[in-house]
Structure 1
């Protein structure tokens, strides 16, 4: 699960930074400065990277045995500036704790 967590952490941080650039720099330039170049270049990059985030979050969620609701919330975190970075930190902490705690072995079935 360590490699899946690392992939998710890298992608979530990159998506978060790209979204912040898009919203904080690109949108004001487009709508206040009539210069859409940042939105036209960073926007598609964010869209592609967000799809990669969906795949990495799904992979991590499947390995960590998350509920569907939790998986969807983690995936949606990439759509709000700064939230994907916050969610990445929280998810990483929780997954590390889950890895440290050994899962209880199933009780043997008496015959």
Structure 2
């Protein structure tokens, strides 16, 4: 008698059958980068920018701004990779990419993209 697969183990296989074997890994990379970029953007806007303009301390803006810029580029690449592997629409891809530039919206876009991609739907 074989053990029945758990929900977590069934989901990646079903997703892989629907859109390609590499989609679950691409989705994980995208999700990690969406969270990193989202958190850095919030820190930049809510911490570093007030420090610069209210306290005259420019260091955090320089560091967080540069870090966010470089990591947004990695986010861009991971989102494009996922979009190609999961056959996203051009509109969905562009909206997801723009979401990484708006505070808090990257989290909303990540949840939407994850939900739709796991369901086998096009973003």
TM-score bucket (shorter structure):
0.7 to 0.9
**TM superposition shift of 1:57:** 0.5
- Distance between the aligned counterparts of 1:90 and 1:68, measured in 2? 15
Q: Which residue of 1 aligns with 2:8?
A: none
TM-score (norm 1): 0.86
The DSSP-based 3-state class of the residue aligned with 2:88 is coil
Can you give the 5+ residue segments of structure 2 that lack an aligned partner in the other structure? 1-22
What do the CA deviations read for 1:69-88 (whole angstroms, capped 9, x no partner)? 21111001000000101111
**TM superposition shift of 1:55:** 0.4
1:37-76 to 2 correspondences below 5 Å? 37-76=59-98
**TM superposition shift of 1:40:** 0.8
Can you give the 5+ residue segments of structure 1 that lack an aligned partner in the other structure? 100-111
- Distance between the aligned counterparts of 2:112 and 2:38, measured in 1? 14
TM-score (norm 2): 0.78
1:20 aligns with 2:42: yes
**TM superposition shift of 1:92:** 0.5
RMSD: 1.0
What do the CA deviations read for 1:33-74 (whole angstroms, capped 9, x no partner)? 111111011100000000001100001111111121211110
1:81 aligns with 2:106: no
